[in-house]
Amino acid sequence: MLLEADVHAYLFLSFSLLAVGVYGLLSRRSVIRMLFAVEMIINAANLNLAIFSAQRNVDGEIFAFFTIGLAALEAAVGLAIVIVFYKRFGEVIPSKIRNLRW
């Protein structure tokens, strides 16, 4: 097998991807980068599913299909919202629009 690694290494990979995604979501102020970050988080979960599925049974892999589909839908929805937001405010930085608060 090409990728010979034990489960801890794989978990390290997915946790790293999760951490990078969280880092991106919290530090990037532009909506497109935030979308990238969201996709990374969901991919981290997907990686987990695939790895455990390879060790256990086929259910995880099938759930990963659905997750990919959901993530794609989420990306589409996100982009729709982002575009509407941009068209209205001329701005891709949501932190600047803070009318709803307190």
Q: Residues 13 to 72: which contact other proteins by CB under 8 A?
A: 13-72
Min separation Cβ 91 and other proteins, Å: 10
Q: Give one DSSP letter per residue of the chain, joined into a string.
A: ------HHHHHHHHHHHHHHHHHHHHH--SHHHHHHHHHHHHHHHHHHHHHHHHHS-SHHHHHHHHHHHHHHHHHHHHHHHHHHHHHHHS-S-GGG---S--
Query: How many chain residues bind other proteins (CB under 8 A)?
Result: 98
Min separation Cβ 82 and other proteins, Å: 6
Min separation Cβ 90 and other proteins, Å: 10
